[in-house]
Amino acid sequence: MEEKTAAAPEGFLKSRTADARNMTVHRNAEDIYLVLYDILAVNLSYFLALWIRFDCRFSRIPVAYLRGFLNFAPVYTVFCLLVFRHFKLYRSVWRFASYRELARILSSVAATAVFYILGIHVVLRLTVADAPSRMPLFYYFGGILLETAFLLVPRFGYRFFLLLGDAGSKDKDGTCRKVMLIGAGSAGRMILRDLNNSKESRERVCCIIDDDPGKWGKEIDGIHIVGGREAIPETVKEFGVGKILLALPTATAGQKREILDICKETGCDLKSLPGIYQLANGEATANDLKDVSVEELLGREPVKTSLEEVFRYLNGKVILVTGGGGSIGSELCRQIARHEPKQLIIFDIYENNAYDIQMELRRDCPGLNLEVLIGSVRDSRRLDHVFSRYKPDVVYHAAAHKHVPLMEDSPCEVIKNNTIGTYKTAYAAMKYGCKRFILISTDKAVNPTNIMGASKRLCEMVVQTFDKLIKEGKETAIPELYTHREEESGYRVDREILKSHPETEFVAVRFGNVLGSNGSVVPYFKKQIAQGGPVTVTHPDIIRYFMTIPEAVSLVLQAGVYAKGGEIFVLDMGEPVKIDTLARNLIKLSGHRPDVDIPIRYIGLRPGEKLYEEKLMDEEGLKTTPNHLIFIGSPVPFDTEKFLGQLEGLIDAAYKEEGDIRELVAEMVPTYRPKKEEGPEETMRKRA
């Protein structure tokens, strides 16, 4: 058994080596044939020009002209082969010959023509007695034209006949899937040719849609441009289209959404060219086409941030990201890594997520000074060790429990992790000289109806308390809260007095839901659709604000640049999205019909869930920043001394897990109004 196992790889390698050798021999043979053809072509072209010049009668050609041609032929042949090699005419794959190959051939002919016109005069005078002053003018022009034709015809003819054969083989059995192409611009033409040139593809573009009336009725590579977007439904039925390709890389998000709203009603598969980078590279292929994303369906313009400001802020600093393995935390790490920090420290309690982002950053950013540490923000001693050793300049605090229904069943845990974890991390940041602490908050902290949102509001109050007391020079009034006890662990905490006035600036950044995050509704809907349904929506009228993870994180980074301490930054999430509409659009994008192929079932609001999320509390006003998508909410005043006293009682209650902790939270967060669960019957009754 061992001998066979050892022999198999050797035989495989020998087979692969033999295949490679055969391919090399085959390619070399093709090159030799092409070189021999070119030798014949470059000489025959000028001989035929001379023959045609004298009425196609060999006997009429003057001997001097004939001798000049024959004497110069060897020199010209060698020169031509060197020029052709220089212009890489023997390296092209002629099956895919394009304008680049055409340009190379024309450049080669131009170079050899100049050499021929100059060289034939020298050879005539040196080798032929009583030589004429020059060859006939037609000889030069005819020779150049014939040489161009002889070089072009076999090369592009090879491609032409292969394409005819491919087209015939595709259509012969009638199994090709018919495709509609939207966009007759540069990207559309490239994709059309790439798709039609593919021998393996079982798809064929049968019609093109473009909103430019000047293109209607015309053709690209034999494919008709049938009309504008309003013609899409009718054309799909007329041609039996099964797939639609959107080649609109320069269209605005709103324009794409309008076209997608039409396309999704056809039931066809949809693919889209992501962006304009293909045009910048001068190429776009069918491989660049991706499934139409939810972001495109929402039709929001991409968020723009000042990368230069963020770079100046992060460059050369030690950055700590808590919860660095999560959805938001990992994207923070990716974007921070691209801004050349002095060191990036990822801190997370879940080792699998931490390992994934560690491997990704080591692969993509090999020069990054990266540390990945496992630990909990609830562990004071672990935080103390990390901050004392690495002394981060900036902390992005993304570690938190975020799942609303789960936290309703475990209220003490969300207080321990979110509120107390934020307090301990903030204290360590202040104690060890961190310059800036940025809390990642949520719109669920506004008038919260669930314990998770209330815990995040408490987190905002924590960072505002720290910032206020530091600015007032009262940092010693901030207690260093520990939950472990000396008699239980044998570990005694020395409350170190702050030796210098801390300068940490504490801020919070608040935004709504992010597409694709852990627990996001979009992947959940997609999984339900893949299983054949039903798709479960909590309420027909529920709405949410959405933003992509990279967009939200880029705004978080820029908000950190604007921070002066004490602010709650609010990100403009755009227009709210109705979840019911989102679910129906996802079903249509999957090629199904809502309530026909895939049913939608309303299950009632989950514990702690609101119909409408808010971005600002009623008491807060808005201030603008240089970025029109980032606003500053004015801090809501509260008694910080009373708050710190209540917080110590909240910690004790959370760890003892006695009584209903929601009552204590409601005393600290006046806007917190716990919401009872609604069943599906009550939901439908209210809707009626």
User: CA separation (Å) from 146 to 42, 76, 116, 137?
Assistant: 8, 15, 14, 14
Cα four-point dihedral sign 193, 195, 201, 205? negative
CATH of 307-480+501-524+542-577+605-656, one of 3.40.50.300, 3.30.420.40, 3.40.250.10, 3.40.50.720: 3.40.50.720
Among 675, 662, 681, 523, smallest CA distance to 609 is for: 675
DSSP run (H or E) holding 75 = helix 63-86
Predicted structure pTM score:
0.63
CA 444 from centre of chain: 28
Q: What is the pLDDT of residue 487?
A: 38
d(CA 476, CA 497) in angstroms, rounded, equals: 8
User: Are the folds of 176-292 and 307-480+501-524+542-577+605-656 the same?
Assistant: yes
Q: What is the pLDDT of residue 44?
A: 92
Tokens 């992947």 correspond to 523
d(CA 135, CA 124) in angstroms, rounded, equals: 9
Q: What is the pLDDT of residue 133?
A: 72
Query: How many CB atoms within 10 Å of residue 505?
Result: 23
d(CA 131, CA 129) in angstroms, rounded, equals: 5
Domain boundaries, the chain: 18-168, 176-292, 307-480+501-524+542-577+605-656
Q: What is the pLDDT of residue 619?
A: 52
* HSE toward the beta carbon, residue 173, CA cutoff 13 A: 8
Cβ contacts of 681 within 8 Å, gap of 6 or more? 604
Torsion of CA 92, 94, 95, 101, to 10 degrees: 80
d(CA 19, CA 317) in angstroms, rounded, equals: 54
Q: What is the pLDDT of residue 414?
A: 96
**Residues in the chain with pLDDT values less than 50:** 1-20, 23, 26, 167-169, 171-173, 276-283, 485-495, 497, 677-688
d(CA 559, CA 314) in angstroms, rounded, equals: 12
d(CA 343, CA 340) in angstroms, rounded, equals: 8
Q: What is the pLDDT of residue 665?
A: 95
Cα four-point dihedral sign 671, 677, 682, 688? positive
For domain 176-292, give the CATH superfamily.
Answer: NAD(P)-binding Rossmann-like Domain (3.40.50.720)
d(CA 428, CA 51) in angstroms, rounded, equals: 94
Q: What is the pLDDT of residue 101?
A: 75
